[in-house]
Amino acid sequence: MAQVIDHRGGVWSIAVPIPDNPLGHTLVHLLETDRGPVLIDTGWDDPDSWDTLVAGVAACGFAVTDLHGVLITHHHPDHHGLSAAVREASGAWIAMHAADTAVVRRTREAEPGSWLGFLTAKLTAAGAPEDHLAPLREARAKRHGAVRSGRPPALPDREISPGALLGLPGRRLRAIWTPGHTPGHVCLHLEEEHPGRGARAAGGGPVAASGPGARFGRLFSGDHLLPGITPHVGLYEDPDDATVTDPLGDYLDSLERIGRLAPAEVLPAHQHAFTDAGGRVRELLAHHRERLAGLRTLLRDPLTPWQLAVAMEWNRPWAQIPYGSRNIAVSEAEAHLRHLVKLGHVEPVPGSGPTTYRAV
């Protein structure tokens, strides 16, 4: 049976499972409009996930065929995976920020095995050992000339423009560009009086009272702001674009923007709804300040990105981190290095190969 929460005021959440993932599920939100229901994210492309989504929409009082549109906070498969199935079943439009739409388009057009080649080159440059690189080379050799399997991610047919009020009849939903977790991540601010004024928010504390300076509206935060998890921030990977980006800097700037917004309640894509967005933003900013300071200490001795990732503190010892998750960890280490270089706190060691970095 689908886990569905009525957040009141025509807002629902449906817990759509993510197969074999410790996160457990994605909270897909359904927003009622005068034109019909709209989904915010869709969940992982998996038969059980699809069945759960269909059952969840029914528990909200609708059929999948009633869906009018899909708003995607970001392109990751636990958010965008079922968008194609929803569009096929209902004819709903799909909207996404242009930066993440570009990622989807690149993914659809890439030759099988090309990403493995890019990843192998990136990890080699980061100083990954041969025993980590060998499986990637083997996998790429097997994929060479292969035909793509599975359904490709859906190409959106509408753009979510930063700052725009989205065209949802009867609702005031504004897009807020919050890059960091992905280049085109967006949060969506429901600029309407919270229906729980004077009551308690679903899954959280009391909703802020009205009056001067009161917190206002509800924020669909995707993965940008979560109550108990620090979202992954790695490099924006584009094999065809050599632009030096700063994802961690983007994320920290985006956090401050959401802190100033001060919504009455946050409806994230994982875990549970919560209040005090400003407090959570301050916690995350402090966490990243402490982590950056710790990395500067580690870099008193020059390290490659791989060596830095091994030395960093994670939620488990490095030896227990699964193979694929190590690639994610290295990307996160590189994002932190890039931000420290931009701040002038770290520099690459001239002539090192693979490149090592040291504190300044």
Kindly state the average pLDDT of the residues 138-148.
67
Q: Of 32-41, 196-205, 230-239, 271-280, which range is least confident?
A: 196-205
The average confidence (pLDDT) of the chain is 91
Q: Which DSSP symbol is given to 198?
A: T
Q: What is the pLDDT of residue 103?
A: 94
Contact 57, 63 (CB under 8 A): yes
The more confidently predicted of residues 148 and 171 is 171
Digit-coded pLDDT (tens) for 186-217: 999 999 998 875 444 444 444 544 443 457 89
Tens digit of pLDDT for each residue in 71-104?
999 999 999 999 999 999 999 999 999 999 999 9
Structural tokens at position 94: 């799909």
The residue ranges of DSSP E strands in the chain, in sequence order, are 3-6, 11-17, 25-31, 38-40, 69-71, 93-96, 158-159, 173-177, 186-190, 218-222, 265-268, 346-348, 357-359
In 3-state terms, what secondary structure has residue 155? coil
Residue 240's pLDDT is 76
pLDDT score recorded for residue 206: 47
pLDDT digits (tens, 9 = 90+) for 275-313: 999 999 999 999 999 999 999 999 999 999 999 999 999
CA gyration radius for the chain?
A: 21
Give the whole-number percent of the chain exceeding pLDDT 70.
92
326 close to 308: Cβ distance less than 8 angstroms:
no
pTM over 0.85, yes/no: yes
